[in-house]
Amino acid sequence: MQENDFGAALLFEPQNIRYATDISNANLIWTFYTPVRYAFVPATGLPILFEYGLDTCPLSADDYAFVGDIRPSISLATFYRLNAKDEWIGKWCDQMMGLLAELCGGSQRLAVDSLVPTACLALANRGIQVFDGDGLMARARLIKCADEIKCLQAAVDVADLGARRIREKIRPGVTEQQLWSVLHQTNIEQGGEWIETQLLSSGQRTNPWYQTASEKVIEDGDLVVFDTDMVGPFGYVGDISRAYLCGDRPNADQREAYRVAYDTLQHNIEVFRPGISFRELAEQCFLIPEPYRDHQEAIGHGAGVQIEFPLLCQRDEIERMPYPEMLLQPGMVICAEAYAGKAGGTVGVKLEEQLVITSDGCELLSRTPFDERCLA
């Protein structure tokens, strides 16, 4: 913030609030689309959390290490203010102006990650310059400290456990949704929070990728493919992908797709190292065989309190890659991924590993095995 001469950052996104304050809320998913809590983070000093529900469930800043105060929020949600929203936005603006004067030396430069349009216009009418706080937070979260790496390892440990339990439950007659519920139960049981997607498919539904877990019944001979995409313990991501066979013997198409995905992933992991640019990474990563290129995945993406920046594109997409000359650095956590599925085909395999960039290479966080029958 100081580099950009921002007086403060105003955070509404729940994962940014969690990152800045280490405080979650029982209404977490609801607050992703209902602006009822926010954190004011001055350029110097501790954040002020404006929390929802303090009238029934009071919190004290004395119980939390990373906040200076916890105060009642002023809701900007239509859910509460349909007939008097302008009045409440005015009160909220008064609150923001007071904080900028009190904690930021009267600065009128405020970074905001997301904000309802009427509130943004109200700030502008008071002379406040509003800047992109989403990009600011993405850069702030980019390099993980040692404590964050421990949190990420704990999340991946739960993803490993969930993947093992899914594999144990695979059998003819079970549905995709029943298998997917195993991951949810494991995550919540182990202190996790939620799952960002519903990516589990089987048989012909594995190609193309990104088909939602359904009522389809698993049959003998199906590949079952899933991506955990979970926010686990401590609010950090555990994101791995695996494919397992229901049955004893994979067919030739399944073996080929599995081998292509596996070889792609293993080659690319060897390329991840500090000091390599995103452009160089794309140029050095595995060139997937031509029949599989129409459906290939990105090389990978960041992981932290959510699936996040950077997006690492394939070599033929370098020009649309954000910051192609940016370098991998120690402390970045990346999910390396590979998908192999021919256009018009009936088999797809998605594999993914979560890793941390170290001083001399990278270190895998997951210990979940692949299906050796498909690699034999």
Per-residue DSSP letter, 175: B
- Report how far residue 128's alpha carbon sits from residue 356's, in angstroms, rounded to the nearest whole number: 39
Say what the pLDDT of residue 86 is. Answer: 79
Task: Give me 258's structure tokens.
Answer: 């599995």
- Report how far residue 138's alpha carbon sits from residue 146's, in angstroms, rounded to the nearest whole number: 18
Model confidence pTM above 0.75: yes
- Report how far residue 357's alpha carbon sits from residue 330's, in angstroms, rounded to the nearest whole number: 5
What single-letter amino acid sits at 201? S
DSSP-derived pairing of the beta strands 129-132 and 194-195? unpaired
Per CATH, the number for 8-140 is 3.40.350.10
Where exactly does CATH 3.90.230.10 map onto the chain? 146-374
Task: Give me 17's structure tokens.
Answer: 């609030």
Contact 68, 87 (CB under 8 A): no
Q: Rounded to an integer, what is the distance from CA 155 to the centroid of its chain?
A: 12
Taking residue 101's Cβ as centre, other Cβ atoms within 10 Å add up to: 12
Say what the pLDDT of residue 316 is. Answer: 87
- Report how far residue 347's alpha carbon sits from residue 254's, in angstroms, rounded to the nearest whole number: 6
Is residue 331 packed enough to be buried (19+ CB in 10 Å), middle (13-18) or exposed (0-12)?
A: middle
Q: Sign (positive/negative) of CA torsion 7, 12, 18, 19?
A: negative
Say what the pLDDT of residue 83 is. Answer: 58
From first to last of its 376 residues, the chain has per-residue pLDDT tens of 989 999 999 999 999 999 999 999 998 899 999 999 999 999 999 999 999 988 888 888 888 999 999 999 999 988 766 655 678 899 999 999 999 999 999 999 999 999 999 999 999 999 999 999 999 999 999 999 999 999 999 999 999 999 999 999 999 999 999 999 999 999 999 999 999 999 999 999 999 999 999 999 999 999 999 999 999 999 999 999 999 999 999 999 999 999 999 999 999 999 999 999 999 999 999 999 999 999 999 999 999 999 999 999 998 888 877 789 999 999 999 999 999 999 999 999 999 999 999 999 999 999 999 999 999 9
> Does the domain formed by 146-374 have CATH 3.90.230.10?
yes
Say what the pLDDT of residue 81 is. Answer: 64
Half-sphere exposure of 67 (CA within 13 A, CB side): 24
Where exactly does CATH 3.40.350.10 map onto the chain? 8-140
Say what the pLDDT of residue 321 is. Answer: 78
